[in-house]
Structure 1
Amino acid sequence: MNIKSLKVLEYFKIKDKIKEYAKTTAGKDIIEGLEPYTNIYEVKEHLQETNEALLLLSKKGSAPFEGIYDVRSALIRASKGASLMPTGLLRIAQMLRCARLFKNYVGEAGDNDKSRVLEDICIGIVPIKNLEDEIFIAIISDDEISDRASSLLFSLRKSLKEKNASVKEKVISLVRSNAKYLQESIYTIRGDRYVIPVKIEHKGSVPGLVHDQSSSGATLFIEPMSLVNLNNEIKEIMLKEKAEVERILAELSYKIYENINIVQNNANIVWELDFIFAKAGYAIELNAIIPTVNEDGIIDIIEARHPLIDPKEVVPSNIYLGKEFTSLVITGPNTGGKTVTLKTVGLIQLMAMSGILIPAREGSMVSFFNEIFADIGDEQSIEQSLSTFSSHMTNIVNIIQKADKKSLALFDELGAGTDPTEGAALAVAILENLRARGTKVVATTHYSELKGYALKTTGVENASVEFNVDTLSPTYRLIIGVPGKSNAFEISRRLGLPDYIIKTAKENISKETLDFEELVQSLQEKSIKAERDARDAESLKLEASTLKEKYQDKLYKLQNIRENAMYEAQREAKRLIKDAKEESDVILKNMRELEKLGYSSEARQKLEEERMKIKNKLEDLNKHVEKSSDELGEKIKNVKQGEEVYLPSLNQKVIVISKPDKKGEVQVQAGIMKINVKVEDLRVSKLSDEDKKKAKIIRREMNLNLRSVSSSVDLRGMDSEEATFTVDKYLDEAYLGGLKETTIIHGKGTGVLRKTITDMLKRHGHVKAYRLGNYGEGGSGVTVVELK
């Protein structure tokens, strides 16, 4: 990609923005070297990696870059066999830990192939946890080696503490005994040796070695002879400690040297991940999306936003070309946003071709171009003695020489800087030449001749930036299909220019030109109105759809309430009948007792009549209740798997998931519950049209599942709760699918997941037997289940 285009489109500013999100200098160096990729495969892969990083950041939070540093210089020293300082070793260990954590961070989220590219990158990471742990155990901080680094170091430091304690006791005793000769009753250290401050006039009273003198010369720092041997012993231990520390650092450095290829490879992958996640961080700031990429020169960017303009102020634009037309001519007043639109197209194209997500709406499309040319801005060159026009033409000559159908050319004020008539003719000729080659072109202009050219030429389309004459300000909205109107007369009138001058100016313009300008204004107003009406229609459509869903939901709830009320009434009626039966049985029993005491035949006849009345009333009540029960739904004669039916006892619609057994029972799915019920208790479900569609989908999915149930399920990476739910669902599908044997893959690991699954299988209704896998089946990493 030519540097000039990258510069004028402000591509380097985007790279500077991304650098702010990089954690290491190495990552920033990769960003610094970033350029648009040279083939569509690389473009798609790098866009995908950035999008995967964005999803990971949204799903799992910050990436594991804690404590990461650029250790390239330390690795260069290690590769030559040099001994590293504690800081270098510690930072290499932190880099190794970051690489290891990243392998887990990316791998754990890789469901449904969502992190395919990042997983491919991280597969190259080789964890060296033993070396990592050794360094962290041995080195506490940048300037401190741990006592646990070696047994000898621990022993030396212990001896050093004991010797120091002994010397302190001895020196304190000497201070007390020689207090009259001392400047102060203290001791101090000079050159790692304990000394006492003796007045210069008493130097002969304290025999020993002089190590220093005060600045005034009144005090000598003397090491008493009785301390010499102890200080020598301390010095000797300190030298041994220093040698042991150097040995430990050399040993750790050598271990890095032995694994230098792995360490270097892990580091390179971490730098690459730093670069990728920096792009993702910038994408979050922009609220960016991943576009689709084609090689056909088709651009369709929905609500494109210039990434360097304040998000609160930027006006989104819909920009498209490459299908019905290959050249877009944008006209409109100055400061209306034409140049911004031009730069937005070019910069978004460069971002996408560099694997950077773009600030637009989902569904946007960009194209892969071999080259993007840009002739934008004031190109006047004093050094080369070139005028603005000459400089522009020099650039355009270069574009004409190199542009082809795989190129995108951007022109700002094409043909400007010279005689308008000649400039317009040149602009038309340039556009026509590039159009004939198949080059995709976006050009801005003030020339009316280019509006006419775009109107009458196939493959060229007019566009304009909207201008509000009432407020004398641009709206920065791009309108494709309508040429721009200069609005010079309207702006001048609102600014106070007298009408008679404007009238004279209009008389100097041909009637055809004025008619054309009026037509343009009319078209623009109609286009704006059509767009506004389309937005309103879309809004009303969405509102109507929301209301429809709302009232369908209410209707469904009302039907449920009605059925529930009927069921409750039926249950209450049955209870009343039961109570009445019990009461009537007691009354009849008492009547029979009274009969035994002796009554006349007339009395017995009356009692019998009353008994018949009670019996008839109870039978009527029973019939009424049975009739009410029938209103809940028709009884089912034959049930089918996947059929939705109504279960009055739960007042709920359920799905039949098994065939009737010998007891006349079937298993049904009620929400997340599976229960066994008698077929005679089921009723035909009164389905609405929407419910019928849902039931058909459920049956279709169930039939599809029956045909395509896998013979195994993989639980690796799941926690116990998720694994239990997954296995339960899978065993149901396998049982319904007629599988006799399935394999549950849980991995070896710590054995916790295997134990959870084993406990579940012990009590699962579909399981006949289970065992661990044999050699060749996966061993203890799988469980083979035999189904009933």
Structure 2
Amino acid sequence: MNDKILQQLEYPKVIEQLQQQAETSLGQEMARQMKPSTDLENIQYWQRETDEAAQVVRLKGHIPLGGIRDIRPQIKRSEIGGMLSAHEILEVASTIYGGQQLKRFVAHIIDEEEIDIPILNDRAEHISNLNQLERAIKSCIDDYGHVMDGASSQLRTIRSQIRSYESRVRDRLDGLTKSKSQMLSDAIVTIRHDRYVLPVKAEYRSQFGGMVHDQSSSGQTLFIEPQSVVDMNNKLQEARVEEQHEIERILKDLSERIQTDASFLKENVNALQQIDFMFAKAKLGRQMKAAKPTINENGVIRMRQARHPLLEEDEVVSNDIEIGDSFTAIVITGPNTGGKTVALKMVGLCTLMAQTGLQIPALDGCELSVFDHVFADIGDEQSIEQSLSTFSSHMTNIVDILNQVTDRSLVLFDELGAGTDPQEGAGLAMSILDYVIEQRARVIATTHYPELKAYGYNRDEVTNASVEFDVETLQPTYRLLLGVPGRSNAFDISKRLGLSDNIIHKAQSMVNDDSRSVENMIASLEQSRHEAEQDYEQAADILEEAEQFYRSLKHEYNQYLKKKEQYEAKAKEKAEKVLEQAREEADQILEDLRQLRDDHSVKDHHFIEARTKLDQQKASLTPKDDQTPLNEAEKPATQTLETGDEVFVKTFNQSGTIVQQVNDKEYEVQLGVLKMKVAVEQLEFVKRPEPDKSKPSPVVKGNQVHVKPELDLRGQRYEDAIQKLEKYVDEALLAGYHQVSIIHGKGTGALMKGVQQFAKEHRSIKGSEFAHANEGGTGVTVLKLS
């Protein structure tokens, strides 16, 4: 891009603002060197990096770049073997630390916010971890740039000697100030030429001896180093020389370590410079309330509510601009100071900014094109006297533009053809525009010539535009109206200013019919535009009202859903309380059952009543779906029941074993420790045990074998209980029982263990288990007989 064009469009002022946003001299340097690119891929990459930085600024508001310095001179001097000063070395450590802080910040942003910032992440990854070098520097140099005593054991020893010598010298001199104070101009110890001296009155010089290092301007005071401290001062100076040599050795060593890591330091500085620069662009965009533009190569520019980048938001009027699709040229007409030149410069400057990777002060969705050249011929007509030299200057510039223009050029003409005869100027303006349009360039021109108003209507590639002027206030509104040419407001303005109607009518009669028809046409267009804008505003109001109504309904619906959830939660909580109460009642019933079972005087009807209550509680806890009766197709087939069959008793919701058939309607069923009569319709067949063919069936005659299905061993001695158990199992086998219950109680647990051990060793017992909680739990062992 031509530097003169950049100056005309005030591009350097944007660069100045960008430099102010950079936090380091590295970023400022990169901003100064920034130039628009003509490569689409480069521009799109720059826009992406600016957008990534803008996302971080929007989320965090800042990025830590403190402590980062331009250490490239230090790196270069270390590479050629130079020794760096303590302050220069400290800046290296500060930059290493700042880089690590920035790298951690980027990693935290990615993990915490989960945003996609690949460019920033890649640059942060190029910041090398040089913690060893940083620690080495910080262990030798403090935050003020002084080499610390702990930098080396030799330096610590030397400085200890220096402090000792200084103390001894000062003590000796303090003694002299007290004993010979009348010979001193001032009773103090001072320093001249790095040696401790006393301010002695000239007449007492011989009283001290030693060396004179200085005297006052009047000659009345001599600064004397007494002979008694000369030797100690000499030793002090020698120690200071040694200190300086040791400091230089330490600095030389640190400089060599910097030289070793020079390549990593260079890479760090480069990454930090690019990061500072990309965030400077993002912060400038935030300051301008700018948006990321879409970049194309088709010569299309579309911006909504675009503003001039260098004007304050409250001082500039936003305008819509579009060119390159339906038309390739815009001719803007209108009065002076109406904003034509501002609109012209805005398009050119926004194009340059976009091609530099900067965001544009416009609404989201703006689109700009890449141009190989942006040409501009802009002059301040109001401050330049119209003369041949002015016209010649403009034409020289225009000729140069026409010689270079291509289909990838953006051309901006301000007051095209001005400075010469109006008819000739208008002719030249139209001819120049024709040539540029033939080259398929994009062109925006401002003019005063009325002939160019009709020019836009006669060519498909051209559209008219104007800057609005309020006749009532006699002030421009600075609004750009695309598609409507500007009309002359001379008669209206003159009338508002008080010019006689007779003079105005006579002037109007002198204007030819064509001019009047054009003015009337423009006035009609303006009226139509105003009406369209009013309709648009009315439609926008209706849309806003509808959106508010929609938001209100959505809010009410969300409130309904929220209350519904609250009611459901309360209902659920209430139901859980009812269920909990039912569970507690069920537990109480079970406890009563245990007590009744342990009470030998309990009758069967007591157990049945308690069991019925428990079933009622279970039924109240069971969902209705679970209580749905089986369909006829799902019911098991009816089967004749026999002694020993395992059945399910519906009334008690428990499994049992058939003992015998009482009559056609009832069976005697063994339910745990209880034996009771149950109606046939309350029984469901479960399974029938397989007969053991290897063992003959026991012959039971009458009451010869009468064995209960349970054995109570509580209160018996261990040996007697086991003998009784062995005999009982034999009888149960003869009786044909498949399972029996052994009641041993809980007690110490010895009898329970004995029963279980017996079950494991007996060949006819295939298994054992504790009874259900409501049948005795661990106080009863159920034996499975084979």
Q: TM-score of the superposition, structure 2-length normalised?
A: 0.69
1:100 correspondence with 2:100:
yes
Query: Helix, strand or coil for the counterpart of 2:553?
Result: helix
Q: Using the alignment, how far apart are the partners of 1:577 and 1:382 within structure 2?
A: 96
1:142-165: CA deviation from partner (whole Å, max 9, x where unpaired): 552222222221221122222222
Q: Using the alignment, how far apart are the partners of 1:84 and 1:239 within structure 2?
A: 19
Q: Using the alignment, how far apart are the partners of 2:276 and 2:82 within structure 1?
A: 27
Which residue does the alignment assign to 2:299? 297
Code of the residue aligned with 2:41 in structure 1: it is Y
* Alpha-carbon distance change, 342 to 199 in structure 1, aligned in 2, over 3 angstroms: closer
Which moved further from structure 2: 494-503 or 29-38?
29-38
Q: Using the alignment, how far apart are the partners of 1:468 and 1:235 within structure 2?
A: 86
* Alpha-carbon distance change, 563 to 100 in structure 1, aligned in 2, over 3 angstroms: closer
Q: 2:488 aligns with which of 479, 486, 491?
A: 486
Contact 2:24 2:65 in 1 (8 A): no
Q: Using the alignment, how far apart are the partners of 2:241 and 2:482 within structure 1?
A: 81
Q: Using the alignment, how far apart are the partners of 1:416 and 1:407 within structure 2?
A: 23
Contact 1:379 1:388 in 2 (8 A): no
Which residue does the alignment assign to 1:364? 366
Q: Using the alignment, how far apart are the partners of 1:259 and 1:210 within structure 2?
A: 51
Contact 1:380 1:388 in 2 (8 A): no
Q: 1:263 aligns with which of 237, 246, 265?
A: 265
Contact 2:291 2:360 in 1 (8 A): yes
Which residue does the alignment assign to 2:34? 34
1:21 correspondence with 2:7:
no
Which residue does the alignment assign to 1:408? 410
1:691-725: CA deviation from partner (whole Å, max 9, x where unpaired): xxxxxxxxxxxxxxxxxxxxxxxxxxxxxxxxxxx
Contact 1:24 1:69 in 2 (8 A): yes
Alignment of 1:492-507 (within 5 A): 492-507=494-509
Q: Using the alignment, how far apart are the partners of 1:201 and 1:187 within structure 2?
A: 19
Which residue does the alignment assign to 1:44? 44
Which residue does the alignment assign to 2:122? 120
1:472-522: CA deviation from partner (whole Å, max 9, x where unpaired): 111111111222212221111111111111111211223333122122112
Query: Helix, strand or coil for the counterpart of 1:145?
Result: coil
Which residue does the alignment assign to 1:709? none
Q: Using the alignment, how far apart are the partners of 1:549 and 1:183 within structure 2?
A: 90
Q: Using the alignment, how far apart are the partners of 2:24 and 2:159 within structure 1?
A: 37
* Alpha-carbon distance change, 153 to 61 in structure 1, aligned in 2, over 3 angstroms: farther
Which residue does the alignment assign to 1:471? 473
Which residue does the alignment assign to 1:423? 425
**Per-residue deviation at 1:265?**
3.0
Alignment of 1:754-769 (within 5 A): none
Which moved further from structure 2: 110-119 or 309-318?
110-119
Code of the residue aligned with 2:7 in structure 1: it is K
Code of the residue aligned with 1:309 in structure 2: it is L
Contact 1:86 1:141 in 2 (8 A): no
* Alpha-carbon distance change, 523 to 273 in structure 1, aligned in 2, over 3 angstroms: same
Which moved further from structure 2: 307-316 or 512-521?
512-521
Which residue does the alignment assign to 1:57? 57
Alignment of 1:267-282 (within 5 A): 267-282=269-284
* Alpha-carbon distance change, 530 to 197 in structure 1, aligned in 2, over 3 angstroms: same
Alignment of 1:27-426 (within 5 A): 27-110=27-110, 114-141=116-143, 144-179=146-181, 181-378=183-380, 387-426=389-428
Q: Using the alignment, how far apart are the partners of 1:202 and 1:158 within structure 2?
A: 35
Alignment of 1:543-622 (within 5 A): 543-558=545-560, 561=563
Q: Using the alignment, how far apart are the partners of 1:60 and 1:562 within structure 2?
A: 38
* Alpha-carbon distance change, 530 to 206 in structure 1, aligned in 2, over 3 angstroms: same
Q: Using the alignment, how far apart are the partners of 2:167 and 2:133 within structure 1?
A: 36
Q: Using the alignment, how far apart are the partners of 2:185 and 2:504 within structure 1?
A: 102
**Per-residue deviation at 1:303?**
0.7
Contact 1:464 1:482 in 2 (8 A): yes
Q: Indicate the structure (1 or 2) with the bigger Cα radius of gyration.
A: 2
Q: Using the alignment, how far apart are the partners of 1:566 and 1:134 within structure 2?
A: 66
Q: Using the alignment, how far apart are the partners of 1:180 and 1:246 within structure 2?
A: 44
* Alpha-carbon distance change, 386 to 151 in structure 1, aligned in 2, over 3 angstroms: farther
Code of the residue aligned with 2:29 in structure 1: it is D
Query: Helix, strand or coil for the counterpart of 2:191?
Result: strand
Q: Using the alignment, how far apart are the partners of 1:227 and 1:556 within structure 2?
A: 93
Q: Identity percentage over the alignment?
A: 42
Contact 1:409 1:440 in 2 (8 A): yes
Query: Helix, strand or coil for the counterpart of 1:303?
Result: strand
**Per-residue deviation at 1:172?**
2.5
Code of the residue aligned with 2:253 in structure 1: it is E
Which residue does the alignment assign to 1:12? 12
**Per-residue deviation at 1:368?**
0.6
Q: TM-score of the superposition, structure 1-length normalised?
A: 0.69
**Per-residue deviation at 1:349?**
0.4
1:6-38: CA deviation from partner (whole Å, max 9, x where unpaired): 111111111122122233444333222221112
**Per-residue deviation at 1:380?**
12
Code of the residue aligned with 2:27 in structure 1: it is G
Contact 1:36 1:351 in 2 (8 A): yes
Q: Using the alignment, how far apart are the partners of 1:381 and 1:546 within structure 2?
A: 52
Which residue does the alignment assign to 2:523? 521
The alignment's C-alpha RMSD in Å is: 3.7
Q: Using the alignment, how far apart are the partners of 2:76 and 2:569 within structure 1?
A: 82
Contact 1:15 1:32 in 2 (8 A): yes
* Alpha-carbon distance change, 166 to 372 in structure 1, aligned in 2, over 3 angstroms: same
Alignment of 1:678-717 (within 5 A): none
Contact 1:379 1:392 in 2 (8 A): no
**Per-residue deviation at 1:470?**
0.8
**Per-residue deviation at 1:330?**
1.3
Q: Using the alignment, how far apart are the partners of 2:193 and 2:447 within structure 1?
A: 81
Contact 2:388 2:419 in 1 (8 A): no
Contact 1:408 1:440 in 2 (8 A): yes
Query: Helix, strand or coil for the counterpart of 2:276?
Result: helix
Contact 1:380 1:391 in 2 (8 A): no
Q: Using the alignment, how far apart are the partners of 2:4 and 2:514 within structure 1?
A: 41
Which residue does the alignment assign to 2:734? none
* Alpha-carbon distance change, 15 to 566 in structure 1, aligned in 2, over 3 angstroms: closer
Which residue does the alignment assign to 1:692? none
Which residue does the alignment assign to 2:441? 439
1:348-395: CA deviation from partner (whole Å, max 9, x where unpaired): 001111111111111111111111111111489999x95222222222
Contact 2:330 2:463 in 1 (8 A): yes
* Alpha-carbon distance change, 218 to 520 in structure 1, aligned in 2, over 3 angstroms: closer
Structure 1 residues without counterparts, runs of 5 or longer:
583-621, 636-788
Q: Using the alignment, how far apart are the partners of 1:531 and 1:50 within structure 2?
A: 36
Contact 1:96 1:267 in 2 (8 A): no
* Alpha-carbon distance change, 215 to 535 in structure 1, aligned in 2, over 3 angstroms: same
Code of the residue aligned with 1:13 in structure 2: it is K
1:95-116: CA deviation from partner (whole Å, max 9, x where unpaired): 2323333333334334666322
Code of the residue aligned with 1:459 in structure 2: it is E
* Alpha-carbon distance change, 507 to 565 in structure 1, aligned in 2, over 3 angstroms: same
Q: Using the alignment, how far apart are the partners of 1:440 and 1:277 within structure 2?
A: 32
Contact 1:4 1:374 in 2 (8 A): no
Query: Helix, strand or coil for the counterpart of 1:490?
Result: helix
Which moved further from structure 2: 220-229 or 480-489?
220-229
1:294-319: CA deviation from partner (whole Å, max 9, x where unpaired): 01111001111001112211100010
Which residue does the alignment assign to 1:760? none
Q: Using the alignment, how far apart are the partners of 1:333 and 1:379 within structure 2?
A: 12
* Alpha-carbon distance change, 175 to 488 in structure 1, aligned in 2, over 3 angstroms: closer
Query: Helix, strand or coil for the counterpart of 2:460?
Result: coil
Aligned residues: 595
**Per-residue deviation at 1:573?**
11
Query: Helix, strand or coil for the counterpart of 1:293?
Result: strand
**Per-residue deviation at 1:72?**
4.0
Which residue does the alignment assign to 1:782? none
Code of the residue aligned with 2:82 in structure 1: it is A
**Per-residue deviation at 1:248?**
1.4
